[in-house]
């Protein structure tokens, strides 16, 4: 895992733009991921009710999501090898 990103766990929230940059994807791709992955979407906090309200993500939840994806990929690879 990216050390710089792991160090962010000391912070509670990360902006949508910063998270997209850390994950190496566009903000639009991040929004699509939020729509298709309910676990990922749970980490999101919208600061207001308007469409333009800032969006932040809970760093600890994102780190858990990344770990679950890594575990899931290892499990899927093990099944494919059988």
CA proximity to 22, closest of 42, 3, 39: 3
Please give the pLDDT value at position 56.
92
Number of domains in the chain: 1
What is the band of 26 on the pLDDT scale with cuts at 50, 70, 90? Answer: very high
Please give the pLDDT value at position 69.
85
Please give the pLDDT value at position 20.
94
Which residues are 44's β-sheet partners? 57
Give me the CATH number covering residue 43.
1.10.1660
Q: What is the pLDDT of residues 31-73, one digit of tens each?
A: 899 899 888 888 888 888 998 899 899 988 898 888 888 887 6
- Assess whether pLDDT exceeds 70 at residue 2: no
Please give the pLDDT value at position 45.
87
| Backbone dihedral region for residue 18 (phi beyond 0: left; psi -120 to 50: alpha; all else: beta) | alpha
Domain that holds residue 53: 3-81
């Amino acid at each position: 895992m990216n050390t710089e990103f792991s160090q962010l766990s000391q912070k509670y929230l990360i902006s949508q733009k910063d998270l997209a940059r850390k994950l190496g994807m566009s903000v639009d791709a991040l929004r699509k991921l939020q729509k298709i992955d309910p676990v990922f979407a749970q980490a999101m906090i919208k600061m207001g009710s308007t469409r333009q309200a800032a969006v932040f993500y809970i760093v600890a939840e994102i780190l858990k999501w990344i770990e679950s994806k890594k575990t899931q990929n290892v499990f899927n690879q093990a099944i494919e090898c059988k």
